[in-house]
Structure formats: C-alpha cells, structure tokens
Amino acid sequence: MASDTLSKKIRCKAAVLWEVNTPLVIETIEVEPPRAGEVRIKILATGVCKTDAYLLDRVDPSKNYPVILGHEGAGIVESVGEGVTNVAPGDHVVPLYYPQCYQCKFCKNPKTNFCSKVRATQMKGVMPDGTSRFRCNGKKLFHFMGCSTFSEYTVVADVSVCKVDSTAPSEKVCLLGCSISTGYGAVVNTAQVESGSTCAVWGLGAVGLAVIMGCKIAGAKRIIGVDINSDKFKVAEDFGCTEFINPKDYDKPIQEVIVEKTDGGCDYTFECIGSVEAMRASLDACHKGWGVSTILGMTPPGAELTAKPYSIVTGCVWKGSVFGGWKSQDSLPTLVEEYMQNKLKVDEFVSFTLPLAKINEGFDYMRKGVGIKSVVIFD
C-alpha cells in the first residue's frame, strides 16, 4: 500500500446519497486519516444490499443525509490509528456492520452476536467519537452502519473490521460481509435446523437464497420457497429449494396452503423480505408444538407485529437474526475459509459486476427483481 497517503487526507471517488428518492451521485470526496482506534481501508469491492436501498427509497426520520451508503465490502488496510492491533496496513479485510468489541456484556455472552460498543454512534452515521471522516464540497457526509463501502476509501472503527485470507477474491468475499453470512447463519446459528426438517423461506433474494443454502447444508428434507416473483424459482432450485409457492397463485392465505402441504406446518420458517404480513404468515405456517419462525427482514420504521397468543402458547417460537447470529470478528475469517474450501456458495450469488459509475444500475436490478446480487468493483 502506498505510504504517501499516510496521515494525509485522501481525495477519492464515492457514491453520495444527497437526499432520499434521488440517485447516488459520484463525487470526489475527502477522507480524513484514521484517528485512535480507527482503520482506513481502500475498498476493492462492495455488494449492493436491500438495506442500502431502504435509505434511498424511503424517508426514515432517524436517518442523516448526505450519506455514503454500503456495508457489504472488502478491501485492504491503508493505515491504522493509534492503538489498533487487530489489523495492519496491507491486510485484506472485511468491514463489519455488526461489530465485536469483546468488552461489552453482549460480546461476553455467547447467546448473542449483538455488540453495544459503537452502536450508539455507528448506527447514527458517525464514528465512535461522534464525528465524520468524510467531506464533499465542504459539507460533512454521514457514515452508514459503520462501513460506508460505496467509497474508494473509508474509515471504520477497529471493532468493525477483521482480517481475512489475502488470496480470497474481494469481489466475492465482500458478500460474506452481509447477505450470505446472514442467511446461512440464521439457519445454522439461530434456528439450528436439523437433518430431515421441513423448511419454508419467504423471499428468494440474496438473503433467502443463503437461507436455502444453509437448509440444504443442514440436511433439510423439504425446502419450500415463497416469492411473488416466479422468475426467482429456477435459481432457488439451483440452491436447493424443493418446492415453490407464488402467493399470487392462491386465493387463500399462503400459510394455510403450506400447513396443508406439510401435514400441519413446517419445522422451520424464515422471513427474508421485511414484510410484517410475511412475518405473521411465517409464524402461522409453523407446526404446532415445535415450529420455529426466524425473522431476518428489515421493516420500515415504526412497524409492529401481531400474532395469536395461541400460536406461541402451543409451542411455536418466534426468533430474530441479525448478521446470522455470527460474532463477527471471530466468524468472518472462518466463513471466508469455508468459501475457499468450496463449502459455501458465494460466486453463484453474483449476477452483475459494475464499476462505481454504474452503481445506480445495481439498485435498478434489485428493484426490478432481476438477478441476485450486484457487486461494484473499484479500479
């Protein structure tokens, strides 16, 4: 890594979201050097995720603009601030939107992958000291989810990054920074699907396909895919889906269809859309006594869930999963190794590779439901 940038501001290209419901604009921005406990990364590749699209497409009163989105990246450490020990310049890394600080009560508890250390700031669009490292035309830009990977250079907290195998292709392993790890982990960590299970998956996008991959690895006997876009069914089959249901083909609630098809319901269901109706359907499609419904989708602000207490009283369980339940710094390097050993599909998720200048096309493909994932590759 060139040392002529050390301790200096870097001028580079980034995709900036100036306000909601507008396309990203490629701008020249300034990226400050990392402060104590921070890491500046040259981003090599980033996925375009539905969670980024939410910031573009809907007004979330809790959000700050202008902002540099992106949280599914991979790159090389350019420089580190004082006190950083987990990564060093030249390391190949993946930024982690779910940090792992090892200090907080959550990190010390094996029951969760939640980490409180920088959430108060990171999810508010600033670094842990409450400030931003990005400026454009004199204006401060907010960070996003502690990652901001839609930029040639970004700065993250040291607890939000981990070193990975330098031989792993960045344009693929960036997807382990979010959607693939999320879906796979929801199956093996959160729901803990057993061999021979009957499963149903709502939403056959990247997250849902990763759930299907996990269910297949876990040895599920039946994997039912549910999506309103029938174009998704072929690829879902390639990932291990055994049956497909398009709710538009039925004039009754889809949970009733699934309960009938499965002799009383599924052992495990997964919601990978971000729809409260689908979340409810995924609970009601569970088998009485033991069915487990795991929610992965992100809902609009203020959304609330309803359920029949009878479902819960009689043994169905509602769970939630963020970043697949993985304690991020501990797990990401292993997930990369599993990919390198061909134990996890990753290449199969990439439908489009785009230069930064065409990043808006990636969002268009997602909105139209074309392909699985777009990956932006930096020069």
Ligand X SMILES: N[C@@H](CCC(=O)N[C@@H](CSC=O)C(=O)NCC(=O)O)C(=O)O
Ligand Y SMILES: NC(=O)C1=CN([C@@H]2O[C@H](COP(=O)(O)OP(=O)(O)OC[C@H]3O[C@@H](n4cnc5c(N)ncnc54)[C@H](O)[C@@H]3O)[C@@H](O)[C@H]2O)C=CC1
Q: Least distance from C-beta 145 to ligand X, angstroms? A: 5
Contact residues toward ligand Y (CB under 6 A) are: 49-51, 178-179, 182, 202-208, 226-229, 232, 247, 272-275, 278, 296-298, 321-323, 366, 369
257 or 359: CB nearest ligand X? 359
Binds ligand X (CB under 6 A): choice among 87, 127, 155, 322 = 322
CA distances in angstroms from 224 to 129, 257, 285, listed in the order given: 46, 11, 11
The entry of ligand X, ligand Y, none near residue 366 (CB within 5 to 8 angstroms by kind) is ligand Y
Binds ligand X (CB under 6 A): choice among 26, 104, 217, 298 = 298
95 or 205: CB nearest ligand Y? 205
Tell me which residue of 46, 69, 50 sits closest to 174, measured CA to CA. 46
Using the 8-state DSSP alphabet, how is residue 158 labeled? Answer: G
Tell me which residue of 222, 326, 204, 223 sits closest to 271, measured CA to CA. 204
Q: Which residue has the tokens 């031989």?
A: 167
- Six token digits for residue 35: 């402060």
Under the criterion CB under 6 A, does residue 136 sit at the interface with ligand X? no
SS (H, E, C) 326-370: CCHHHHHHHHHHHHHCCCCCCHHHEEEEEEHHHHHHHHHHHHHCC
The entry of ligand X, ligand Y, none near residue 145 (CB within 5 to 8 angstroms by kind) is ligand X
Tell me which residue of 376, 326, 323 sits closest to 353, measured CA to CA. 376
7 or 230: CB nearest ligand Y? 230
Under the criterion CB under 6 A, does residue 276 sit at the interface with ligand X? no
Under the criterion CB under 6 A, does residue 49 sit at the interface with ligand X? yes
Instruction: Give the separation between CA 131 and CA 364, rounded to whole angstroms.
Output: 32
Under the criterion CB under 6 A, does residue 53 sit at the interface with ligand X? no
18 or 365: CB nearest ligand Y? 365
DSSP string, 80-98: E-TT--S--TT-EEEE-SS
Under the criterion CB under 6 A, does residue 273 sit at the interface with ligand X? no
220 or 273: CB nearest ligand X? 273
289 or 369: CB nearest ligand Y? 369
Q: Say if CB 24 and CB 70 are below 8 A apart.
A: no
Q: Least distance from C-beta 177 to ligand Y, angstroms? A: 10
Using CB under 6 A, list all residues that contact ligand X. 49, 51, 97, 123, 145, 178, 298, 322
